Amino acid sequence: MAVIESDPITLEIFKHLFASVAEEMGVTLGRTAYSPNIKERRDYSCAVFLGDGRMLAQAAHIPVHLGAMPASVQTAIQCCAPFAPGDLVALNNPYMGGTHLPDITLVSPVFLPAGELPSSRSAVPDEPLFFVASRAHHADIGGMTPGSMPVATELYQEGLIIPPIKLVEAGHVNQAALDLIVSNSRTPAERRGDLAAQRAAHEVGTRRLLEIIAHYGLEEVNRQAHVLLAYAERLTRAMLSELPEGVYTFEDVLDDDGISPDPIPIRVKISIRGGEMVIDFTGSAPAVTGSVNAVSAIVHSAVGYVIRCVVGASLPANQGVFAPLHVIVPPDSVLDAGPPHAVAGGNVETSMRIVDVLYGALAKAMPGRIPAASQGTMNNLSFGGVDPRTGRPFAYYETIGGGGGAGPHTDGLSGRHAHMTNTLNTPVEALEFALPIRVRRYALRRGSGGAGKHRGGDGLIREIEFLTPAHVTILSERRRRGPYGLAGGLPGKPGRNLLFRADGSPAQELPGKVTFDVAAGDLLSIQTPGGGGWGIPQTGEPEHGRDSHS
C-alpha cells in the first residue's frame, strides 16, 4: 500500500467536498423525481468515481445500491468507451453490472471544458477526469407484474433488460432508446420524469466537481482523491489488526424462494489474519428457481456496508475500504447466480440475510460489540391497476420498516428501515394522493421485538384498503423464523401477511412471497418482524407482547 501524505485538516476538507457532490446530486434527484418511490421514499443513490472507475465518494443513501455501483461503472467503461463530454450511459442488466431490473443506473464522464486542460496533466486529454453515477429504483420497468418485483422464475419475467448503452451521446439524447425504455413501463410518463431527474442530478454533480477543480487545481484534487483512497485502506487495516486472529463462521437461512418451501442456507467463514480479512461464502445454497438469487455485486455491497459500520463514521466511503478484504463467492450459488436466473428479490431480501450472517460471524470475533439481527427483510410490496380517477394505469412499489436488533448498550429501534435499505417510509398523505388506496392503519407492532437485557425494536403494521381492483405482489422474509438474538437474547417475532376480503370472509394468511388479485374494498395487512433481543432476559419477562390479528 503506497502511503500518500496529507495534513488531517486538508484530508477532512476533501473527504467532505467529494461526499457533498454526491449528496447534492441526491437532493436534486429527490426533489425533481416524479414517482413517490423516488421522491418520497428516496429510493436512490449517488456516487463519485475516479476516471479509472474506482469509487471516490458516496452519499449516505442506499447501502445495497452503493456497494454494487462500482461494478456498474466498470461495466460502463468497458462497454461504452471512448467517452465524450455530454455522454450518459444507462444500464440495469444484473449480469452486466446491475443488481435487479428496477434499479436503473446512469453513469456519465466528467471532462474539463475545452481549452482548460492543464499542460502538466499526465493523463491522455480525451480521458474522463471523473465519473458521476446514480441508481434509482423505478417503480415499474415492465415484466409480468406491476411494480416489476414478481415471484419470477427467470430474468425475462422481471422486466426490460437494459445493457450498457449511451442514452445521451455528446449531449444528444438517443430518443429511440429512451422511448424504448419508457414504452416498456406501465407508467411511461413517470419513467420519463424519473430518468430526467437522474440526468439533472448528473449535471449538478459535474458542475460541482468542476468548481472544486477550478478552486483547488486539478493536480491537488487528484492528489487528495488518492490520499482519501489510501486513508480508507489504512483505517480498515487498522481495525482488522485489532481483531483477534482466527476463523469465525455463521449460518442463517432464507425462508424460501417463493416456488419451493425449502429453506435456503447462507453460510460464511470469516478468516482474520495480518490486518486482512477473507470472507468466504462457500457452502451457501446453489442458485434457486425463484427470484431470491443475487449477483456477486450485491455480496460485495453487504460486505462493504458491514465493514463500514464496524470501523465507524470516520471511514471515507470509497474503494480503499475493499483493499484488505478478499471476498469469495461460489459461482452458480444463490449469491452469484448466472443468467437467466431471476434476481428481483436477491437485491432486497438476500442482501439482508448476507448482513445477518456477517454480523453473526463477527459477533464471535467482537463479543459485546455487535447487535442482534434486525428485521432481516425489506417487506417489498408492489401493486398496480387502472386508476378510476384518471383512467390510466398506475404502479407502485415500496419497502416497509420493521424492528431493529438490540445492542449491548441499548434497545433496538422500532419501525425503522435497517441495514441494506436506508429509505424513508412513504407518508400516508402521499400514498393516498397518488394512488387509489386508503391507508387504514399505520402503527408499531407492539411487543414484536425479542426479549433480552435490551429488547429488540418493534415492527410495523401497515394496512392498505384498495379502492379499485389491483394486482399485488409481496416479496418478504422472516415469516417463518424471527431474527436471531445475541448473548442470550430471544428472537424477534416473525412477520405476517394477511388479506381481509371485502365480503367479510375469514382473514387469509398469505405466504412470504406471493402474487394475487384484490377487489375494491379488500384490505391487506403487512405486519413486519421485530428485531432480536440482546442479553439474557430478566426472569418472567415475556418473549413477545401481543399485536393485532395474532
| pLDDT at 313 exceeding the cut of 80 | no
154, three cell numbers: 427467470
Confidence check: pLDDT of 188 > 50? yes
φ/ψ of residue 170, rounded to 5 = 55, 40
Confidence of residue 5 (pLDDT cuts 50, 70, 90): low
Position 251 scores a pLDDT of: 98
For residue 540, name the pLDDT band (cuts at 50, 70, 90).
low
Mean pLDDT confidence for 186-212: 97
Distance (Å, rounded) from C-alpha 164 to C-alpha 74?
11
pLDDT mean over 84-109: 96
pTM over 0.75, yes/no = yes
User: Picking from 21-35, 201-215, 414-428, which range would have the lowest pLDDT averaged per residue?
Assistant: 414-428
Give the model's pLDDT for residue 60.
72
Residue 128 pLDDT > 80, yes or no? yes
In this structure, are residues 276 and 318 in contact, taking their beta carbons and an 8 Å threshold?
no
Q: Where are the beta strands (DSSP E) in 213-313?
A: 246-254, 264-273, 276-280
- State the cell numbers at 117: 486542460
pLDDT at 120 exceeding the cut of 70 = no
Q: Which of 99, 97, 150 is nearest to 346 (CA)?
A: 99
Whether residue 3 has pLDDT greater than 60: no
CA distance 314 to 232: 9
d(CA 344, CA 218): 41
Q: What is the mean pLDDT of residues 328-352?
A: 97
347, 378 Cβ separation under 8 angstroms: no
pLDDT of 66 reads: 62
pLDDT of residue 395 exceeding 60: yes
pLDDT band at 425 (very low <50, low <70, confident <90, very high): confident
Asked if 296 and 329 touch (Cβ cutoff 8 Å), the reply is: yes
Let me know: does 518 contact 524? Beta carbons within 8 Å: yes
**What pLDDT band is residue 115 in, cutting at 50, 70 and 90?**
low
With contact defined as beta carbons under 8 Å apart, do 443 and 461 qualify? yes
- Give the model confidence (pLDDT) of 443-491 as tens digits: 999 999 999 999 999 999 999 999 999 999 999 999 999 999 999 999 9
CA distance 420 to 441: 26
Cα-to-chain-centroid distance, residue 2: 32
pLDDT in the model for residue 538: 85
Q: Where are the domains of the chain?
A: 8-231, 371-550
Q: What is the mean pLDDT of the chain?
A: 93
Residue 7 pLDDT: 87
Q: Is residue 203 over pLDDT 80?
A: yes
For the record, the C-alpha cell of 466 comes out as: 384498495
pLDDT recorded at residue 377 = 97
What mean pLDDT comes out for the span 492-503?
Answer: 98
pLDDT at residue 547 in the model: 43
Is the pLDDT assigned to residue 2 strictly greater than 80? no
pLDDT given for residue 539 in this prediction: 74
Question: Can you give 76-89 as a three-state secondary structure string?
Answer: HHHHHCCCCCCCEE
Q: What integer pLDDT is reported at residue 260 of this predicted model?
A: 97
Q: What percent of the chain has pLDDT over 70?
A: 94
459-463, 489-493, 507-511, 545-549: which has the minimum mean pLDDT?
Answer: 545-549
Encode pLDDT of 243-296 as tens digits: 999 999 999 999 999 999 999 999 999 999 999 999 999 999 999 999 999 999
Query: Is the pLDDT at 550 greater than 60, yes or no?
Result: no
